[in-house]
A and B are shown apart, each in its own frame.
Chain A
Amino acid sequence: MKSKQQDIGGREVYSSRVKVLRALISAILILYTCITIFVIVTTLLDSFKGKGDLISNFIGFPKAVVLDNYKNVIRNDRFLLYFFNSFILTFCGTAGCILLSAMAAYGIARYDFKGKNLLTSYFLIGMMVPIQVSVLPLFLILRKIGLLNHRLGMILVYISGISMSCLVFQKYFSTIPRSLEESARIDGCSDSKIFWMIILPIAKPVLFTMALITAVQQWNDFYMPMVLLGNKNVTTLTLAIYRYLGQFAKYMGQSMAAVIITLIPIIVIYFLFSSQIVEGLTGGAVKE
């Protein structure tokens, strides 16, 4: 049974039976992806419906486009504040985490000192301990230093999650030829200047992919903000959506609008950078 040969151009040639099977699997998977499109499009359409329209006509186009839901969410529920909170947490948390882990990775990859391997494994503990184990102590520590229910406390916790990016950066830095730094050093560059002016610019693509995946995880985080940011003034978008879920029947229209507002930045980022997000995710896990 020879189901496949190779033609001259190097492309695969399939027997008709294999072709049908491939098309069938493809069709099933395409149907599966339609779930995603269906729920997002329906939410989008529903968010423009008035209250009566929404109940009588849950699936389908709005009878008339109404912007009340968006107005309500933004004016009455301070959604812009939540948006700002999520943004600040993600921005500072990601920038700090990437910078610190790049510095640590550089220090480990480029200098020889006692306990280097021990330090490498020490920085990996974070990948083995799920956050749920340490959330209670974090709660107590932040309360002790007065940063519970403060954005800064949450940001510090995010910055400390360096394990994954540190591992990836360490791998990457060891591939940069040392001669680059040697020549800069002969020209009188200090160590920190070499790091800022030479290493970081070279590593930009890797820094960017890791920053993306870190940012996506922090932007979507639910558990830690729920425990550590109980105060309504510092609430994030994901928590705001959670509150809407609790009173879904009452605030149906508003929650549709809230979900759409939260989804838009994610969709934009995904369409622009999906391949980098995938790279950031697989970078630490691929075994060579």
Chain B
Amino acid sequence: MKRRKNYLIFITPAFILYTVFVVFPVIYVIYLSFTDWSGLGAVHFVGLKNFGTIFTDPRFAPEFRNAIKNNLKYLLCVWFVITPFQYFVAYMFFIKIPAYKYIKFMVFFPYVISSTIVSFFAMLVFDPNIGFLNHILGSLGMSKGAWFGDSHWAFKLLVLIIIWQSSGSGIMIFYSNFISTSKEVMDASRVDGCNEWQRFRYIMFPMSLPSCASIISMSTIWALAIFDYPFILGGAKGGISGKLDFANIVFYRYTFGSALNARSDLGFGASICVVMFIVMFVITYVQSRILRRFEYDT
């Protein structure tokens, strides 16, 4: 009889810490979103007032709409630029293009570099005054750019930098899915005389769709929570004409930077979090309904 309760010894420590620091905060943030707590003193319930402010306040609403718009724009980039790029590169490794081992090693490398150092490198390359790019353009006699100070370039450069730094993880997940494709199928295709393109079109592509679905749903969550790069490169104000403003940066600005009413309003910050979370949830849900069609029955 004693043995039956032993699992509690194993599970309880993790369960307690996980509940306190991972699950409880989610509940707590929802509770806070209905208050106007400043962080000190009494807590007042204000109902849905915070949510009203988010969508109707003449100063805040456009700002937030712009940020959400940027989030969605970035999400589109994840779907139609970053993920296809990752898929393509992973397939190139799979068909063993020349020097693929070296390329694989180097393409994944930036993934282990911290976002601040990557931003530092971005500055070295794109800084308008001292950056390499303007240096090179200047010595070639071409006109220099303002890069992150240019509203046409800022967002594109951000996506480029993210591709450089973090596409390695998705590439590796696609790649390990490709190489786990059963050898029999590959051999059979060979015996049947499939050419490269046919093998991709009729075997590898359909078989990789389930893994695409799981990668896309994970990267969607990250896309909607993006913070580090736009914050470090564009600052807490959202970069040049708000091109690098994202929901999370708005949240940070208003919660820890107290940009509304010049006082910290944690309740308001919490409600931004909740709206963010709802948007995230809705998109992930709709997406999973669409992607489910690609899952094959096993």
Q: Is B115 an interface residue (CB 8 A)?
A: yes
- 13 pairs across A/B with beta carbons < 8 Å? A25-B92, A25-B97, A26-B99, A36-B110, A43-B121, A141-B21, A141-B28, A156-B17, A191-B6, A237-B114, A238-B117, A248-B123, A263-B113
- Considering only residues 146-180 of chain B, those with a C-beta below 8 Å from chain A are 164, 169, 172-173, 176-177, 180
Contacts of A253 in B (CB 8 A): none
Closest to A185 in B: B3
Q: Are B108 and A104 in touch, CB under 8 angstroms?
A: no
Our pick among A133, A157, A222, A245 for the contact of B21 (Cβ within 8 Å) is: A157
Contacts of B169 in A (CB 8 A): 281
Contacts of A3 in B (CB 8 A): 195-196
Closest to B10 in A: A107
Q: Is A126 an interface residue (CB 8 A)?
A: yes
Kindly provide the distance from the CB of A219 to the nearest chain B CB, expressed in whole angstroms. Answer: 7
In Å, the complex CA distance between A239 and B277 comes to: 27
Q: Is A195 an interface residue (CB 8 A)?
A: yes
Q: Is B287 an interface residue (CB 8 A)?
A: no
Q: Is A187 an interface residue (CB 8 A)?
A: no
Q: Is A80 an interface residue (CB 8 A)?
A: no
In Å, the complex CA distance between A241 and B107 comes to: 23
Q: Is A197 an interface residue (CB 8 A)?
A: no
Our pick among A191, A245, A281 for the contact of B116 (Cβ within 8 Å) is: A245
Q: Is A103 an interface residue (CB 8 A)?
A: yes
Q: Are A134 and B121 in touch, CB under 8 angstroms?
A: no
Q: Are B25 and A138 in touch, CB under 8 angstroms?
A: yes
In Å, the complex CA distance between A288 and B132 comes to: 45
Contacts of A141 in B (CB 8 A): 20-21, 24-25, 28
Q: Is A84 an interface residue (CB 8 A)?
A: no
Kindly provide the distance from the CB of B100 to the nearest chain A CB, expressed in whole angstroms. Answer: 7
In Å, the complex CA distance between A158 and B227 comes to: 19
Contacts of A255 in B (CB 8 A): 120
Can you add 18 more A-B contacts, CB < 8 Å, to A23-B97, A134-B26?
Answer: A2-B193, A43-B124, A58-B130, A100-B13, A103-B13, A131-B225, A132-B248, A132-B273, A156-B21, A221-B114, A238-B114, A242-B116, A245-B232, A249-B130, A255-B120, A286-B176, A286-B211, A287-B177
In Å, the complex CA distance between A126 and B172 comes to: 23
Q: Is A140 an interface residue (CB 8 A)?
A: yes
Q: Is A123 an interface residue (CB 8 A)?
A: yes
In Å, the complex CA distance between A193 and B266 comes to: 47
Given known contacts A132-B251, A137-B32, A104 and B15 CB-to-CB distance under 8 angstroms: yes
Kindly provide the distance from the CB of A119 to the nearest chain B CB, expressed in whole angstroms. Answer: 7
Q: Is A167 an interface residue (CB 8 A)?
A: no
Q: Are A160 and B18 in touch, CB under 8 angstroms?
A: yes
Counted as pairs of residues, one from A and one from B, with CB atoms less than 8 Å apart, the total is 249
Closest to A104 in B: B14
Q: Are A160 and B21 in touch, CB under 8 angstroms?
A: yes
Most buried by A among B32, B121, B222, B276: B121
Question: Interface 1/0s, chain A 208-222, versus B by CB < 8 A?
Answer: 000000001001111
Q: Are B113 and A220 in touch, CB under 8 angstroms?
A: yes
Our pick among B28, B103, B125 for the contact of A26 (Cβ within 8 Å) is: B103
Contacts of A101 in B (CB 8 A): 14
Most buried by B among A33, A55, A126, A162: A33
Q: Which residues of A contact B (CB under 8 A)?
A: 1-4, 6, 18, 22-23, 25-26, 29-30, 32-33, 35-37, 39, 42-43, 55, 58-59, 100-101, 103-104, 106-108, 110-111, 113, 119, 122-123, 125-126, 128-134, 136-138, 140-141, 156-157, 159-163, 166, 191-192, 195, 216, 219-223, 227, 237-239, 241-242, 244-245, 248-249, 252, 255, 259, 262-263, 266, 269-270, 274, 277-278, 281-282, 285-288
Given known contacts A241-B116, A262-B114, A133 and B9 CB-to-CB distance under 8 angstroms: no
Given known contacts A1-B195, A104-B10, A162-B14, A133 and B211 CB-to-CB distance under 8 angstroms: no
In Å, the complex CA distance between A107 and B14 comes to: 11
Most buried by B among A18, A25, A131, A249: A25
The stretch from B44-52, B56-64, B213-221 touching chain A is B213-221
Q: Is B242 an interface residue (CB 8 A)?
A: no
Q: Is B106 an interface residue (CB 8 A)?
A: yes
In Å, the complex CA distance between A161 and B20 comes to: 11
Closest to A288 in B: B180
Q: Are A133 and B180 in touch, CB under 8 angstroms?
A: no
Kindly provide the distance from the CB of A126 to the nearest chain B CB, expressed in whole angstroms. Answer: 5
Contacts of B116 in A (CB 8 A): 222, 238-239, 241-242, 245
In Å, the complex CA distance between A288 and B193 comes to: 27
Contacts of B99 in A (CB 8 A): 26, 30
Q: Are A119 and B11 in touch, CB under 8 angstroms?
A: yes
Q: Are B256 and A123 in touch, CB under 8 angstroms?
A: no
Contacts of B42 in A (CB 8 A): none
Q: Are B28 and A103 in touch, CB under 8 angstroms?
A: no
Q: Are B17 and A100 in touch, CB under 8 angstroms?
A: yes
Our pick among B11, B32, B256, B269 for the contact of A107 (Cβ within 8 Å) is: B11
Closest to B93 in A: A29
Contacts of B255 in A (CB 8 A): 136
- Considering only residues 248-292 of chain B, those with a C-beta below 8 Å from chain A are 248, 251, 255-256, 266, 269-270, 273, 276-277, 280, 284
